[in-house]
Amino acid sequence: MIKGLYTAWSGMRNEQNRMDVVANNLANVNTTGFKKEGSVSQPFSDVLGLKIKDRSEAPFTTRQIGTLNLGVKLGETYVDWSQGPFRVTDETFDFALSGNGFFMIEYTNKAENIRRDEANQTNVMYTRDGNFTLRQDGTLVTQEGDYVLDPQGNHIVLDPLDTSTSVNSQGQIWQSGAVVGQIGLADFEDYDTLWRYGENFFEPTEDAVQIPATAQVYQGYLEQSNVSTVDEMVNMIAVQRQYEANSTMIQSVNTTLETAVSQVGRLA
């Protein structure tokens, strides 16, 4: 009976983790370039099937199926990299990427946080958020003031008085009929080697291998979040029901324990 309490509690904890993921997705439904997250878990039937068919340990011999898990294992969280829909803005310095790749940003954290020991630490981050703006000094920056980089990792500096600025699908920036710069794009072999930083930045780990990006740049568009509000609301309802089912199980086991303690074995 104590095992039942633990199983139900671990199930509630797993559903709480799933609820946190769903809530974060809903909170960023309007965040430009946001990639939604999901939480996965393995059912016992899948684990058992793989174990039975696994001949790598001792082929054609009797072996243990495995250890008894008294509860639910927290599922892994993953990022859904599917492309979000485009929104037309017709703004000169709004850009969207179609295909695989990221914008290169020289990011400076504005305050101390769990990933940065102190403020004003600078490094290169990657994002799908192309909502940029041009400063009075001609530097191209994000809405938070971080510099947009070219393919060589340098700041992009343009003529702020030139109203003929255009960008082609390769990211080349044209002013007055001449190429004056290029937006830096990068991609990676394995997106599992990227850490999410904030809402829509990604930071490469030591295992990340950078490769040329194949994405095309579209001027006057922004890539919206790939979160579906309807899907996330359905997921939230499912999580709530499963959480309530585990809670009911705890109440049932608690009632059984109370009966066992107060009535079973009582002398007449």
Query: Which residues in 169-190 are b (16+ Cβ under 10 Å) and which e?
Result: eebebebeeeebbbbbbbbbee
Profile the chain (268 residues) by mean pLDDT over runs of 10 residues: 78 89 95 92 64 64 57 79 96 96 93 73 93 95 95 95 93 94 96 92 94 96 96 94 91 84 67
- The domain ranges of the chain are 2-29+41-74+227-262, 86-223
Cα–Cα dist 235/226, whole Å: 15
What pTM, to 2 d.p., does this model score?
A: 0.81
Q: Are 159 and 173 in contact (CB under 8 A)?
A: no
What was the pLDDT predicted at 63? 56
What was the pLDDT predicted at 268? 54
**Which two structure tokens, joined as six digits, stand for 68?**
């008894």
What was the pLDDT predicted at 40? 78
What was the pLDDT predicted at 46? 63
